[in-house]
Amino acid sequence: MIYGYARVSTGHQSLAAQVERLTAEGCAKVFQETASGSRADRAALKRAIDRLASGDVLIVTRLDRLARSTRDLLNVLEEITRRCAGFRSLADAWADTTTAHGRLMVTILGGLAEFERELIRARIGEGLKRARERGIRSGPMHKLMPHQQREALARREAGDTCAEIGRSFNVSHSMISQLKSER
């Protein structure tokens, strides 16, 4: 079965040209929606992917109708592949997972994206290491000043509950409990 997916970003735009082109390509059903491409929760796209079965193909007129970023595109293509279905973009001939050449291109893109993620992870790790060497502490900052922490601990020792102390400082009871365990 061949399905189509058509999307416009605003209600002022028309889906008609996309629907016409997808129908001409033999799409049995065209899933349509008006939603920003940056939104991850596109209901019609989810319905289209959920409908896919082994051997089915999802077609879009252009890649930008499906995804805003390479990462988003690869996530969608991974879900389509997991369903043993294919994908084609009419305007982007290389984006056709129903052919060997198209699968190769998607694989290369996936490898490049994974390589970039590894580079980012390495840079972050190096930056954190340099920061630790300079004595910079990472992680969440305490919401209570040192004198407030001392007061909270003193009140805890005096028998006040963590919940009472937390309410008075406008923090959670678990934060007060953690203070006690840190000292």
Mean pLDDT, the chain, as a whole number?
A: 88
For the chain, give the percent of residues with pLDDT over 70: 96
Instruction: Check 9, 168, 172, 177 and give the catalytic one.
Output: 9
- If one compares 36 and 158, the residue with the highest pLDDT of the two is 158
SS3 96: strand
**Rounded CA gap, 159 and 153, in Å?**
10
Helices 100-133, 70-82: inter-axial angle, 10-degree rounding: 130
Residue 172 falls in the annotated catalytic set: no
User: Which two three-digit tokens encode residue 5?
Assistant: 């997916």
User: Which two three-digit tokens encode residue 166?
Assistant: 């937390």
**Which residues have C-beta within 8 Å of that of residue 150, sequence separation ≥ 6?**
none
Find the mean pLDDT for residues 137-163: 87
* Residue 77 one-letter amino acid: L
**Which residues have C-beta within 8 Å of that of residue 95, sequence separation ≥ 6?**
63, 87, 88, 89, 102, 105, 106
The DSSP output letter for 63 is G
The segment with the largest mean pLDDT, out of 52-56, 91-95, 124-128, is: 52-56
Q: What is the pLDDT of residue 114?
A: 76
pTM for the whole structure: 0.61
Q: What is the pLDDT of residue 180?
A: 62
**Rounded CA gap, 81 and 79, in Å?**
5
- Cα 74 from chain centroid? 11
Which residues in 9-166 belong to E strands, given as ranges?
Answer: 29-34, 57-60, 86-89
Find the mean pLDDT for residues 12-33: 94
Find the mean pLDDT for residues 129-158: 86
